[in-house]
Amino acid sequence: MKKPFITKEKAQEIIKTYPTPFHIYDEKGIRENARNLYKAFSWNKGYKEYFAVKATPNPYILKILQEEGCGVDCSSLTELMMSECCGFKGDDIMFSSNVTPAEDYLKARELGAYINLDDFTHIEYLDQLCGIPETICCRYNPGGKFSIATKIMDNPGDAKYGFTHEQIIEGFKVLKEKGAKYFGLHAFLASNTVTNEYYPKLARILFELAVEIKEKTGVEFKFINLSGGVGIAYEPDKPQNDIFAIGEGVHKAFDEILVPAGMGDVAIFTELGRYMLAPYGHLITTVKHFKHTHKEYAGVDACACNLMRPAMYGAYHHITVLGKENAPCDHKYDVTGGLCENNDKFAIDRMLPELEKGDILCIHDTGAHGFSMGYNYNGKLRSAELLLKEDGDVQLIRRAETPADYFATFDFTGIMDKYLEK
């Protein structure tokens, strides 16, 4: 079962200062998870995790991961800027983007980041813009369907990312001719996999491709980036990934493919987001209303603007009623927010303990792709983000938005001034 990392009593204490809804993150859990990841890949001398900033773009979170040895994976100018302000620079930054604006590439070059090219045409684009760096990476897309055993995991052939097989071999030839000396290889073939076989299978594809590219082009690979895709089980009764089994599976592929090819010094990189943060974040919300019509509805003060995954994907997020963890789940509810959209539901036909107004709900696994995917539809305001520190203190790491924030980008000849708090 999924257990919250805060109690009802702790939540009530927090709410006195920071009203619901809010996202809260568990520093202790984040640090322990990062350390286990590094242990799982400790066999590789150059291993480094580049946390996917898009998953949880908060400087306080980035600083925690930086202290644990992680770099950052950025996909936009603002993510690069945030990372720079947190002290990341040079090979601490992996820049993986697509349809990339010139200013993004220029910033990445300024910071000395590893640039991961998404398309063959970007070789010439980057060269004309700011030159090809000494170390460069390319993203591979094999096309077709990606499967493990008989189970199709995803469909790379429909994905907009990456070079084809022919393009990537030619791309490395061109990059070498343009002066690049060291190379990286990257691929992302499936999202949120909950199987210990994903990374090892992806590793074999990339390792075999790297050997082929080296034989055909003579390039020297500095690193191979397995990207993200290792996920979590959102359902409480499903097994989680075993990062140590995953690490050992990649190790086996490394020893069988790269070492015999004289490539045993290649560093392994990862770009995990969901695996790193999702279980260590909760969305805390309070029951405000009930509606008894064709169904039983429990209305809360959060909405899809705070967590859009259930509305957008029909994704499951487990819900714990704080203080009623051991009560029987014998009442069926749709748990809804207040948006003027019928998909604004955190749960549909969910069996929960009997709810009352004022009950505090903990929505699990919101530490990645939770707050970061928020928006302002219906004029809803983004919530605060809090950090539960290792010593039990709670720190505000992003304040809640106010109406002044929502109106701040208007230039409406003074009409909105009364709402623009100074």
d(CA 284, CA 300): 10
Q: Nearest 10 degrees: CA dihedral of 40, 44, 46, 49?
A: -20
Joined together, the tokens standing for residue 365 give 């696994």
Closest C-alpha among 60, 55, 40 to residue 271: 55
Cα distances (Å, whole numbers) of residue 175 to 59, 133, 340: 34, 9, 51
- Is residue 23 within 8 A of residue 366, CB to CB? The reply is yes
Distance CA 150, CA 195 (A): 13
Q: Token pair 């938005």 is at which residue?
A: 401
Assigned token pair, 262: 């004289």
Of 129, 141, 66, 58, nearest to 96 by C-alpha is 141
What positions carry a catalytic annotation?
A: 340
State how far the Cα of 11 lies from the Cα of 128, in Å rounded to an integer: 54
